[in-house]
Amino acid sequence: MRKFFTALVVIPLGLIFIIFAVANRHWVTVSFDPFNSVTPTIAVTLPLFVVIIASAILGVLAGGIATWFRQGRWRRAARQHEADARRARAELADLRAAAARGDAPRLPAPGQTGFYGSAGRDKQGATL
């Protein structure tokens, strides 16, 4: 099924690229010299489709890199939460092993805030 969907996307996209390349095969000069447009010092002559596809690829890469940098704090938070969860699982395994041996520590009784804590209820006392 996955190969079918891949073929459903890749084959038409490949055909579109081939048609685009055939329709835009004229040679253009890309100049990187802003001061001399007649005889530029730094210039490259390429087919138009190469220039357009290369600029699209560079744009996608630049957007991906910018997104990756902006999501850094979320990845850091996910790593921290994963470490906290791993630590809690280890503590739970230790408590279960201690309970199986019969020497489980006594936990303190919950306070007035209830099982969910003070942040787990609204003004009327309903559980959130």
Q: What is the pLDDT of residue 60?
A: 94
Calculate the alpha carbon distances from 94 to 103, 108, 116, 121 in Å.
11, 18, 23, 31
* 72-120 pLDDT tens trace: 999 999 999 999 999 999 999 998 988 888 776 666 555 555 555 556 6
Residue (of 127, 97, 96) closest to 114 by Cα position: 127
Q: Determine the pLDDT at residue 20.
A: 87
Confidence of residue 128 (pLDDT cuts 50, 70, 90): low
State the sign of the Cα–Cα–Cα–Cα dihedral 39, 41, 42, 44.
Answer: positive
Cα of 51 vs its chain's centroid, Å: 28
Pick the more confident residue, 121 or 57: 57
pLDDT given for residue 42 in this prediction: 87
Residue 17 has pLDDT above 60, yes or no: yes
